[in-house]
Amino acid sequence: MTGFVSLVGAGPGDPELITVKGLRRLREATVVVYDRLVPDVLVQEARGAERIAVGKQPGRPGPDQAAINRLLIDRARAGERVVRLKGGDPFVLGRGGEEAEALAAAGVPFEVVPGVSAAIAVPAYAGIPLTHRDYASSFWVLAGRRRAGRAPGEAAPPTAVLLMGMSRLRENLAELANAGYHPDTPAAAISLGTTAAQEVVEGTLADLAERVAAGGLTAPAVVVVGEVVRLRRRLRWFDPAAAAAPPFGTRLERAAGRPGFRAEI
């Protein structure tokens, strides 16, 4: 019997910044595996669930990533409904991608429930907008730590995410090429993301614009350029055709993507 794993972002610290879907998954869970910085009040929302702390104190021993991956896989294979509760967003500097890779390789079904990243929320709470038409049109998120043994020069170029850039996609991609991105860098355009109408076109920095035009992809769309796009082949868990019937569906989720639905929290 195979269960299910939800990689859930808990947000940056204020417990009220968790998403509705993330909170719902917590309340449905039979096992919650959580990090050190997750607010305890959120962990308590998993009423009746087994709660397993896997957070690490700086400078102290704790569960390594391989052990956490095995825990998620073993509990899912035992038929549990597992929530992996992570601070911020699971896919922003939180090793959520590594956990998703392990689950995919083990054949364990999973989903990603994005969270509010500290990279965005913490400056906002301090009164600092990361973008402003008069001051800055982009921002970088950098990891303060890197994998042991990897020198700074060995890192791939940063992942580039372009918002509201479809009307001048060709020019935007050319600017990235002029900034040093190789023409063969993987790239993807995601139209109407997270909804039942989501479409994805993949290519490279050199040919994505042509592929988007040939596929008839329309705005609103998000464009991602970087080596991480290669992971989609293994980690694509979201099926737009099934978006109206999530694994543990509710009226709110079944209505997602349909105009005029009312949220019942």
Q: Is 35 a catalytic residue?
A: yes
The partner residues of 51 in beta bridges, in order of sequence, read 32
Catalytic residue among 14, 21, 35, 89: 35
Going from the C-alpha of 242 to that of each of 32, 45, 197, 215, 256, the distances in angstroms are 25, 27, 11, 22, 11
Tell me the C-alpha distance between 223 and 152, whole Å. Answer: 26
Tell me the C-alpha distance between 113 and 238, whole Å. Answer: 11
Measured between its terminal Cα atoms, the distance across the chain in Å is: 31
The partner residues of 85 in beta bridges, in order of sequence, read 8, 34
Q: Compute the C-alpha angle 227/228/229, nearest 5°.
A: 90
Q: Is 134 a catalytic residue?
A: no
Q: Which of helix, strand or coil describes residue 166?
A: helix
Q: Which secondary-structure segment (H or E) carries 224? A: strand 221-225
Q: How is residue 262 annotated by DSSP? A: -
Q: Roughly what angle, to the nearest 10 degrees, separates helices 169-178 and 208-215?
A: 170
The phi and psi torsions of 94 (rounded to 5 degrees) equal -125, 10
Catalytic residue among 14, 21, 40, 56: 56
Q: Which of helix, strand or coil describes residue 137?
A: coil
Q: Give the active site residues.
A: 35, 56
